[in-house]
Amino acid sequence: MTEGLFAREAAVLMQTYRRQPVEFVRGDGVWLFDAAGNRYLDCLTGLAVVSVGHGNPRVAAAVADQVSRLTHVSNLYYTGQQVELAERLTALAGLDRAFFANCGATANEAAVKLARRWGQLRRGPSCYEVISLEDSFHGRTLATLAATGQPGKQALFAPLPPGFRQVAAGDLGALDAAVGTATAAVLVETVQAEGGVVPLAEDYLQAVRDLCNEREVLLVVDDVQAGMGRTGQWFSWQGLGFEPDVATLAKALGNGLPIGACLARGEVAGAFDYGDHATTFGGGPVVCRAALAVLDEIEERDLLGNARARSDQLAALLADLPGVRGVRGRGLLLAALLEEERAAEVVRLALAEGLLVNDVRPDAIRLAPPLTITATEAEEAVDRLKRALR
C-alpha cells in the first residue's frame, strides 16, 4: 500500500523533496505512527514545528471549535483572536506591534519590506539594503533567498532581487565594513539552524546590536526556527543580553498550522501605513486560536523549564555516544557532531530504529524534539540513536 503511494508521488509531485521512505498516518505526543502501525519517536517535529506535541488536545480543541465557528473573514474586518495573539506575543517579546504572515518566508518578507520603508522614510530611497550572514537561512521566496547566505541555492534562480548582501558570521570587522548609508537592516539568526545548528556567540550578537545602534540601522532577528520556546526562552535572543528592533516567528507558532509573524518596536512598525502590506490568510482566526493554545500550553506546563532541563540531559547523553565528537546548539535545537561524515546513513538507520532526526550537515545530526519530551523519552531517543550509530 505504502509502496504504491511512493510510486504515485513520484508520478504526480514535482520532485523537489527527497523523502524518507515512510508514510505517516497519525501522531500522539512525541510519537508518530506509520501506515503499518510502527511507532517512531519524533526528534525533528517537522523541523521544529510540532513543539507542544502531535495531536495536542488543547490545540486540536481550539482549532476544531474555531473552524466551525468562524474560519475566515479577511483583514478587512476585526477578529478578536488576532488582536489577542498580537497582545500576548508583543508582551512576551518586549516589542510593540505585530503583522501576521503565513509562514517563515512571508514573515521575513514582511520584515524586509518594513526595513525598506523605514530606511526610505529615515534616509531616503537609496537606503534599502539588508545585510545578512553567510550560512544563514531565511526562506525560499526570491527576496528571502537573496537574504539566505547559501550561494549554491541562490545561483539556481538568478537574477535575485537586489539590495541584499552577506558577510561572514562572527566577523564583526566584515559587518562594520559592509554597513553603509544604503543599509537599512542587519538580519541574523541567533542559532544558524539550517546552517548546521551553529549558535552565534553572545558577545558577537551584542556587538552587532551596538554596531546597529551606532550606525542607526535596524537589527532583525529571524526567530522562525529558534523562537517560541525552542531555546528554553520564549524567544532566542532572551538571555543573550540584547534586543532586536524586529523579529520574525513561524515554525512552532501554530504547532503545525501555517502562521508566521513579524514583530517590531513601535517606532519601526510605524513605517507601515494603511495599504503598505497585506495578506489574504495571515492572522486568520483558526491559526490564531492554534497559536493562543500553543502559548497556553507552554505557559501552563512550564515547557520553557522542561526545554532547558531536557537540553542539558540530551546534550550530556549525546556527547557520551560512541562515534559522537561533540554537541552544539541551544535548548532543544541540538546537533550531534559525528566523528565521520555519515550523517545521511545514520538518519536512515535511525528511521529503521524508530527515531526521526535529520542530517543537517554531512557530519551533523539535528535533534529538535517536542518541548514536551520527558526525561524517559529523551533517554529512549538517545538509546535509539546509539543503536543507529552501531
Ligand X SMILES: *Cc1c(COP(=O)(O)O)cnc(C)c1O
Position among 99, 137, 164, 242 found at the interface with ligand X (CB under 6 A): 137
Q: Report if residue 225 touches ligand X, rule: CB under 6 A.
A: yes
Closest separation between CB of residue 250 and ligand X, Å? Answer: 5
How is residue 86 annotated by DSSP? H
Alpha-helical runs (H) found in the chain: 2-12, 45-48, 57-69, 80-93, 104-123, 142-147, 151-155, 172-178, 202-215, 266-269, 285-300, 303-319, 343-352, 375-389
Q: Report if residue 42 touches ligand X, rule: CB under 6 A.
A: no
Q: Report if residue 256 touches ligand X, rule: CB under 6 A.
A: no
Radius of gyration of the chain measured on its C-alpha atoms? 21
Residue given cell 541551544 in the structure block: 330
167, 136 Cβ separation under 8 angstroms = no
- Stretch near ligand X under the rule CB under 6 A, chosen from 55-63, 100-108, 166-174, 372-380: 100-108
Q: Report if residue 109 touches ligand X, rule: CB under 6 A.
A: no
d(CA 348, CA 342) in angstroms, rounded, equals 10
**How many residues would you count in the chain?**
390
Q: Report if residue 105 touches ligand X, rule: CB under 6 A.
A: yes
Closest separation between CB of residue 220 and ligand X, Å? Answer: 11
Nearer to ligand X, 90 or 136 (CB): 136
Closest separation between CB of residue 360 and ligand X, Å? Answer: 11
Other CB atoms within a 10 A radius of the CB of residue 61 amount to 12
Closest separation between CB of residue 53 and ligand X, Å? Answer: 20
Task: Provide the terminal-to-terminal Cα distance of the chain, rounded to the nearest Å.
Answer: 31
d(CA 198, CA 218) in angstroms, rounded, equals 23
Position among 89, 110, 111, 193 found at the interface with ligand X (CB under 6 A): 193
Position among 42, 109, 129, 189 found at the interface with ligand X (CB under 6 A): 189
Q: Report if residue 197 touches ligand X, rule: CB under 6 A.
A: no
d(CA 307, CA 332) in angstroms, rounded, equals 6
Phi, psi angles (nearest 5°) of residue 361? -150, 160
How is residue 371 annotated by DSSP? T
Size of the site for ligand X (CB under 6 A): 15
- Stretch near ligand X under the rule CB under 6 A, chosen from 78-86, 137-145, 271-279, 325-333: 137-145
Nearer to ligand X, 152 or 322 (CB): 152
Nearer to ligand X, 32 or 250 (CB): 250
Q: Report if residue 254 touches ligand X, rule: CB under 6 A.
A: no
Q: Which residues are near ligand X by CB under 6 A?
A: 103-105, 108, 137-139, 189, 193-194, 222, 224-225, 250-251
